[in-house]
Amino acid sequence: MAEIAGDDAPAAPPHVASTSGSQPASNPASTGSSKPPSRTTKPGVKRLVLTASVLLSFLLGLPFLLKSTEIHRSPLPSDAITALAHRLHSNPPSFPCGLHAVFLRSGSGPPDASLATRLERAISDQLQLIPAASTAGNVSVSVTVESAGGCSSSSGVGSRWQCGVVTTADLVLGDEVFDELLHSALGSGSGDGSRVYTVVIVEIDDAEGMRVVIGKHRHAWLAGKIDEAKSVSVIGKVFVKYFMNGGIEGEAGVGKGEFMPVGSDGNVVLSFSLLNADPSDWVYDWEFEKIGERMLNPVVEALRPIAEINIESQVLYHTPKSSYSYSDDKLGGNVLSMGDIPFFVNSNEWHLDTSISATGRSKVLQFVVYIPSAKECPLYLQLPGGRLSKTNAFISPMWGGVLIWNPPDCSLGSKKTHGTRKKMASQELMETLEIFIGQLRQLFGLKPSYLSHDMDLPTKFVVSERGFTEWELDLLYRHHARSNLLSCLTTLESLSSLVHSLPRMIVMDEIGRQVELSLEAASLAQRNATLGISDSSAVSATRARALAEDAFFHPSVMSISYASIEHYFAIYMPFFAPVSLHVLMAAIKELKRYKAERAKYSAFLASGATAS
């Protein structure tokens, strides 16, 4: 029973003696040998080939898998971005310009040849004492002294001044006419090159004191009794305070901070709205298309180097204000204090954002004419000192401006006219638009107007029909060129840092091309800045910033959530790891089996060769 139930192999049969001369049969069981049984046939490779083909198919499919999941990354010119940053930080954009002083003497004798050189040195020393604007580069000073006996100039003359064209007698023609005479004597100045600003000293022997006039081009003049030291001081102040800083002390305000009402793509939409607070009282319309666009087109052309401006207009009804006003019998109307201005705009009822021209990252500036209802008419804006505002208007930085317009038939306690449709008079519309142009100047960081006592001397400013004088435009061009270059650099550095921090981020060829074009435009803006060509530099800087913003906000950048390489493996491992592991284990096992069978067959061949 134990033998039947046991796992041991049965005992070998008794040994049978072989006949003489014969070899005993090999029986491993009888000899107790542990060698594997020999193989008398050559092992086949069919199983090995099948297993290897399955493994090979997986290996051949791996490159296709990697290709199908490959992330396209267009190379970004990181070195060029770094070089641009180094140039802008080490040498910020500055615009060289020239200052030419012209002394029109009343004497008949020839001018002293050394006088021009001495005055040039004195003006240069005066400019060293006055802090200049950050965008001002090297200033080349030149002087011309002209009298009835001749004309003498210093060696560094860079002006187109034509001697003998303008005389002291031309002052009687008026400031506007004299301004144009100076413009013709100095040339149009439309050619490319650094800007030259001219200050003319007109000597009048019988005049009392001196007066200063700032023209609408790139020149100013002083008229009166000439005191050499006083003239040199006034020339330096006029050049630095107005031509370089726009009449603003220091550098604050112009083209900085909140005073940058231009979209990142260089587009601005000026939206003009006429708001009828209560149409049941009266309804007003305007002829904006005929009058407004004619007045604003020169402004649009003047600002074209720094912004592409579109103009829109609309008339809205049922637009009450959201702030409160109180009645004042002394003033004969309702008063709105400055503390209530932040709550004046009723965003719930004023549906102003209906622009069809504002696309992408364009900036919309709202200019609103508010017509109060009969119960709150007339409505006045009271300044902090208790005085009433002359314009009855206010601005909101980066938003626009509001003007409260009281109709002609508006009075305290006026009666309703039951929705009578009227039209704003052309003269009143023109005055309204002049106020809006002044608000636009403020939004760009300039003064709405200049006071006659801004300097120690009586000062007059010739107004330009474009709303901006040439020297004011130069100032805006310089500041916007510098600001846009720095903004372009910040955007490009952010994009480069983002791409390097996300190895799985898609970078399309279009993004790389936009970055290259942005760098080219930035380099061109820098080159024009070193030459003093402010308008061309502003155009290139605006384009550089717009291209950098387009690259950073490209749809392909924002459409995919980028994951790390670990997340990438976590997605595909559950699909391919189990199958691949089994195929690999099967191939290894089959290879081992084939080697073992091949070893057995080799041993059989070796034993056969020994026996023979």
Q: What's the average pLDDT block by block, 10 residues per block, for the chain (612 residues)? A: 39 41 42 60 85 85 75 86 92 88 78 82 86 75 83 69 81 88 74 78 80 91 85 90 79 48 84 90 88 89 90 88 80 83 79 69 88 87 86 89 88 60 90 93 85 75 89 92 93 92 82 94 94 92 93 77 67 79 87 88 84 74
Which pTM value belongs to this model? 0.79
Architecture of domain 267-408+419-444 in this structure: 3-Layer(aba) Sandwich (3.40)
- What is the per-residue pLDDT for 200? 92
Three-state secondary structure call for residue 557: helix
- What is the per-residue pLDDT for 197? 92
Q: With the C-alpha atoms ordered 376, 377, 381, 387, is the resulting torsion angle positive or negative?
A: negative
CA dist 112 and 499 (Å) reads 67
How many C-beta neighbours within 10 Å does residue 52 have? 16
Per DSSP bridges, beta strands 393-396 and 400-404 are: antiparallel
φ and ψ of 124, to 5 deg: -60, -40
- What is the per-residue pLDDT for 358? 65
Specify whether the CB–CB gap between 353 and 364 falls below 8 A. Answer: yes
For 73, counting Cβ atoms within 10 Å of its Cβ (0-12 exposed, 13-18 middle, 19+ buried), the class is middle
* H-assigned helices in 402-508: 426-443, 470-501
Q: Where are the domains of the chain?
A: 47-68+564-610, 95-252, 267-408+419-444
Task: Give the pLDDT confidence of 365-378 residue by residue, as tens digits.
Answer: 999 999 998 888 88
Partners of residue 325 on adjacent β-strands: none
Rounded to an integer, what is the distance from CA 88 to the centroid of its chain? 15
Q: For residue 240, what is the DSSP state?
A: I
Q: Which residues contact 309 (CB under 8 A, 6 or more apart)?
A: 267, 268, 269, 270, 299, 300, 303
Q: Which residues contact 352 (CB under 8 A, 6 or more apart)?
A: 271, 273, 316, 366, 368
CA dist 269 and 261 (Å) reads 10
CA dist 76 and 547 (Å) reads 14
Q: Which residues contact 358 (CB under 8 A, 6 or more apart)?
A: 267, 269, 364
Amino acid found at 396 = S
